[in-house]
Amino acid sequence: MATDTSGFAALADPTRREIFERVVARPSSVGALADELPVSRPAVSQHLRVLKDARLVVDEAVGTRRVYRADPDGLAMLRDYLDLFWRRSLDTFSSLAEESFHDHPDPA
């Protein structure tokens, strides 16, 4: 299964991850994010561009500012990717439990 994993790559950077977490908690402008973090506005803009390219955030014009918020479609894509591994792990656990039960039935 081919999956776009650019979202994971985008979130690998700690500053970018912090920006993303703040945008998820509250839609924000570049200026508001820069005021809250020890990085410049141009750096925040660059991080947001990477997050947008990875489809983790979207932006919209609000007056003279651009406000960024989480992109539900991009988040769903990441969740679906992780769910694939979760389902595989549960299937493996279930198979192992069944094998163990059949190999060692309850003596009672």
pLDDT digits 0-9 by tens, 51-67: 999 999 999 999 999 99
CATH number where 18 lies: 1.10.10.10
For residue 78, tell me if it sits in a domain. yes
> What is the CB neighbour count within 10 angstroms for residue 92?
10
By residue range, what is the domain housing residue 46? 6-102
Count of alpha carbons within 13 angstroms of residue 49, beta-carbon side: 6
For residue 10, tell me if it sits in a domain. yes
Report the candidate in 9, 19, 18 with the shortest Cα–Cα distance to residue 53: 9
Number of domains in the chain: 1
In whole angstroms, give the CA distance from residue 66 to residue 48.
Answer: 11
Helices 41-53, 14-25: inter-axial angle, 10-degree rounding: 80
For residue 1, tell me if it sits in a domain. no
At 60-108, the pLDDT tens digits run 999 999 999 999 999 998 888 888 877 777 767 777 777 777 666 666 5
Q: Which residues 6+ apart lie within 8 Å of 53 measured at CB?
A: 6, 10
What is the pTM assigned to this prediction? 0.76
